[in-house]
Amino acid sequence: MRHSLPTLPQFYVTAPQPCPYLPGRMERKLFTALTGEGAERLNSALSKQGFRRSQNVLYRPACSECTACLSARIRVADFTPSRTQRRTLKRNSFLRRRASSPWATEAQFALFRRYLESRHADGGMADMDVFEFAAMIEETPIRTRVIEYTDSKSGELVAVCLTDILDDGVSMVYSFYDPDYESHSLGTYIILDHLDIARETNLPFVYLGYWVPGSPKMGYKARFSAVELYMRGEWAPMQADTNYTSETHPLIVDPIAEQVANIRLPDSAPAR
């Protein structure tokens, strides 16, 4: 089904399929192509409205009976690491960061395969081959960097994060790491280091993707301070004592046409 705003871009909705986060539920996504001269402005504008990038597509969950997937970001200036997070930084002080253009390498793919086989063997990316991996890394029309983390002594590649540069932050598109370093909490470390990257570049936010209440896969994102969630058209601080399970009630979902009409495009007011 196609939904159009008075100006480009055009928005589409995927067919329902099983939700990867909450059992017994179906997911669908609202998406649009990310192309042309205005790609960077569109990516920044829609990221502020809960969208995520996958190659040349921007998407946002648009499930018919659920709004549990909440886009999350960290306010860099207000973030304070916990004691456990400070230990994680110290434990990984042997790692060295290197940022490069989005170009896939054999070492990255080998690490990616090991990560999937260890952590997500039955996930949607489990069958991804080297050509699909290269497309994930390289097919980007915006400012994207590959952040590599290597062992300072051995030079071994330990972790990788595909990162977009927005006008107000860095967006962590996808990260993976060596499963042999599981005790090092590398997922947490990569987020902590991206907070440093944002500080170094004077960007106020680190975008984490989606947080899903009730999903063990997403629980780690709630352990960071200064997290904001995008709910009902605005960003609000995550409340530790708030019950977010109401987001799974079907009556809270706006019709697709209304969701599209309320999308704010760059240099434009919401279309009505």
Res 246 pLDDT > 80: no
Domain-embedded: residue 127: yes
pLDDT digits (tens, 9 = 90+) for 159-208: 999 999 999 999 999 999 999 998 999 999 999 999 999 999 999 999 99
In a domain, 152, yes or no: yes
247 in any annotated domain: no
Mean pLDDT in residue range 226-245 = 84
Q: What letter represents residue 63's amino acid? A: C
Q: Residue 171 sits in a domain of what CATH number?
A: 3.40.630.30
Average pLDDT, the chain: 89
Domain that holds residue 130: 80-197
Answer whether 101's CB lies under 8 Å from 95's CB: no
pLDDT digits (tens, 9 = 90+) for 69-82: 899 999 999 999 99
